[in-house]
Amino acid sequence: SLLELSIKWRIPTSHMFFMMMVLEKDDCCKVLEEKGTVRKVIKDVVVENIQVTAEEKTLFWKDFRKFITQDMEDSSHPKSRRRVVLQLFRILISKGSPRVIELFKTENWSSRGWRKKEGGIRLSCVLAEMD
């Protein structure tokens, strides 16, 4: 069960690729039906891997132009952490659409700092694409 996994905040992209392969299978919905699984994947994998890291925050405050350039370059790389986790999120949405979208909308983004809001904006863009 995915709930039994002890997931660290930042997981390698290879692990996310594996999760995507599992979720793309037709019978994966049984895994997602287990109570709390979708919430855990979104909270512990998607959100934590999409938000800006402490190092990126430091770079932003030192040289925001370099931060933006680096972020754009990373986003265009097919195996970048953010790009892979956004693909994982797209698969989650396509498999459990109403429940996943509702769960994401109920997250309290207003009480979080800009690093987490920036991640929320990226995820919201994925939701808008899917509409």
Q: How many CB atoms lie within 10 A of CB 26?
A: 6
**Nearest in space to 51 (alpha carbons), one of 78, 76, 6, 85:** 85
Record the tokens describing residue 23, joined without a space: 């979720």
Q: What is the pTM of this model?
A: 0.59
Alpha-carbon distance 77 to 71, whole Å? 10
Q: Taking 50 as the threshold, does the pLDDT of residue 1 lie above it?
A: no
Annotated domain spans of the chain? 35-130
What does the pLDDT look like over 28-85, one tens digit per residue? 666 666 777 777 777 777 777 777 778 888 888 899 888 888 877 776 676 777 778 8
Q: What per-residue confidence (pLDDT) applies to 16?
A: 74
Alpha-carbon distance 80 to 62, whole Å? 23
What does the pLDDT look like over 84-94, one tens digit per residue? 888 887 777 77
